[in-house]
Structure 1
């Protein structure tokens, strides 16, 4: 069981700028996105989070320091103008060669999904949580990363792929092979790193279609996330568990 998570929170979040100057601090049901993420990781059994900060990171760091966290939190920094693989590499020194759960701070995720990927582990190189509910209403078809599988391996990954049978949930189990792959790239993006491992048969997956998640990347997704909590009649800062359903 993986106990350490890398949480990516360095991006500029331009599509959500109208709701919050800093995406990690964007409130959903009265609770910042990054607090939802850290709470969910802790509920999944993760006891240490390496948070990668960048854009407006000083404010996020102050926010984290001012609150009692449900797990140990360490912050590192990455250039927000660079691809997200740079953020993964920024966490490497604190990983000390160990495996980690990799997650996005702007994704609201059922803790059981985190737990399923962490329990599966990186195995031969990398494991991605995939969702086979194609066409689901919470997905932005122009932005979601698509996945094609073959057997128990990832065959292809990318946005806009015509042939695909799953979505990328944004939750991974990673190890040293992904770090090594990213280091070979001039502009290291996470998708390109996965492609390198997939070409060698070292990118596996675990089906997480039974668990809900949503990428809160724009006002529409934010509204869907808010609606999920309203259906339960509780505020995010008083409810640590995930709503039972995301409205389509």
Structure 2
């Protein structure tokens, strides 16, 4: 299966530790390499990394691992623009992965196996609200009903899961994002949710962490180290 990894953003909250979030060292290995390693362990062997900020450096690291890259010159725009940059390369379905979310191979395998003809996308969700690794002030919240997303965002007040940063997507997501001005990924998810085409799969049995600040980096190093 193909994986699209969004690695274009600046990552300002980790700038005190590393000038490039994907290249942040996690227990002696670049974060992007750990993500690629875990994808491969889950049988996801055709990754495409979308680069942007410090793109040459990120591309060099990704190519050294053996993966392909695609540069998004509009990397400063919301992350939905980086998703759209991959549209010409998207196959019938692919994993969509955030380059600052480190997940165990079980997360990737569970989401990859969740294909559904009634879905334009499937989002891996974690129902372990209050997990000590989650930053409740920054995590993307998800409200679900009968396996479908009904609301998503960092500011929603009623929710029953966290977004783990791993999706199974189809060209329907690209079609939902394309007409929107400078969209974020969640805008595309909301558009599909409005038609009942945004489904969920529970990955709560597996671990993941959003490495967005020094605190999360320390937790990640304890986990993998």
**TM-score computed with the length of structure 1 as normaliser:** 0.87
Distance apart, 1:77 and its partner CA: 1.4
Q: Which residue of 1 aligns with 2:38?
A: 40
Distance of 1:111 and 1:92 partners within structure 2: 25
Structure 2: gaps spanning 5 or more residues? none
| 2:98 paired residue among 104, 107, 112 | 104
2:13, 2:212 within 8 Å by CA — same for their partners in 1?
yes
Alignment of 1:66-77 (within 5 A): 67-69=64-66, 73-77=67-71
Distance of 1:182 and 1:13 partners within structure 2: 23
2:62, 2:68 within 8 Å by CA — same for their partners in 1?
no
1:52, 1:75 within 8 Å by CA — same for their partners in 2?
yes
Distance of 2:174 and 2:82 partners within structure 1: 11
Deviant stretches of 4+, over 4 Å: none
Distance apart, 1:80 and its partner CA: 2.0
Alignment of 1:97-246 (within 5 A): 97-121=91-115, 123=117, 124-230=119-225
Q: Deviations over 1:128-177 (max 9, x none)?
A: 00000001111111110000001121110000211000000000000011
**TM-score computed with the length of structure 2 as normaliser:** 0.96
Aligned CA RMSD, in angstroms, stands at 1.1
Distance of 2:61 and 2:194 partners within structure 1: 41
Q: Which residue of 2 aligns with 1:92?
A: 87
- Match of 2:86, SS state, is helix
Q: Deviations over 1:184-235 (max 9, x none)?
A: 11121110100000010000000000000000000010011111234xxxxx
- Match of 1:24, SS state, is helix
Distance of 2:218 and 2:134 partners within structure 1: 13
2:42, 2:105 within 8 Å by CA — same for their partners in 1?
yes
Distance apart, 1:115 and its partner CA: 0.5
Q: Deviations over 1:49-83 (max 9, x none)?
A: 11000000101112223x243xxx22111222101
Distance of 1:82 and 1:16 partners within structure 2: 19
| 2:22 paired residue among 13, 21, 24 | 24
2:33, 2:65 within 8 Å by CA — same for their partners in 1?
no
Aligned residues: 223
1:146, 1:160 within 8 Å by CA — same for their partners in 2?
yes
Distance of 2:114 and 2:169 partners within structure 1: 11
Distance apart, 1:122 and its partner CA: 5.4
Distance of 1:8 and 1:227 partners within structure 2: 24
